[in-house]
Amino acid sequence: MAVKTSLDPDIAARLKRTSDGLVAAIVREHGSGDVLMLAWMDDEALHRTLTTGRATYWSRSREEYWVKGATSGHHQYVKSVALDCDGDALLVTVEQVGAACHTGAANCFFDELPVTSESPTTGEQG
């Protein structure tokens, strides 16, 4: 995916991308801090997000850019974007309007899996 972009070269130099040229974008809600979803950005999607204040992602399935809410009306207004210490993930803090998940759920992490672990202090299951 070789897309011409206007992303600040200093920011671009700090990104560690997948072989597809993508960086994981973890999205959280500004007010609650809740994690809403995981999406993917390339340099151009990040540039558009930073310059428009509207969360813009790369759709791996459709192979196109999408602005969150453009078709659903469930918009994400960007409050901040932070790059992690390794440069391989972004934390996008947004004001979420409507559901974040394409299923209509408030967030994409509603299918909890069972965890069985021992407590580090007592050795008990819990």
The pTM of the full predicted model, rounded to 2 decimals, is 0.86
Nearest to 38 by CA among 107, 112, 84: 107
CA distance 115 to 93: 28
In contact, 26 and 51? CB cutoff 8 Å: no
pLDDT for 75-106, tens place per residue? 999 999 999 999 999 999 999 999 999 899 99
CA Rg value for the chain: 17
Which residues lie across from 23 on neighbouring strands?
41
Q: Token digits for 55?
A: 């969360």
In contact, 48 and 56? CB cutoff 8 Å: yes
pLDDT for 20-76, tens place per residue? 999 999 999 999 999 999 999 999 999 999 999 999 999 999 999 999 988 888 999
Q: What is the DSSP letter of 14?
A: H
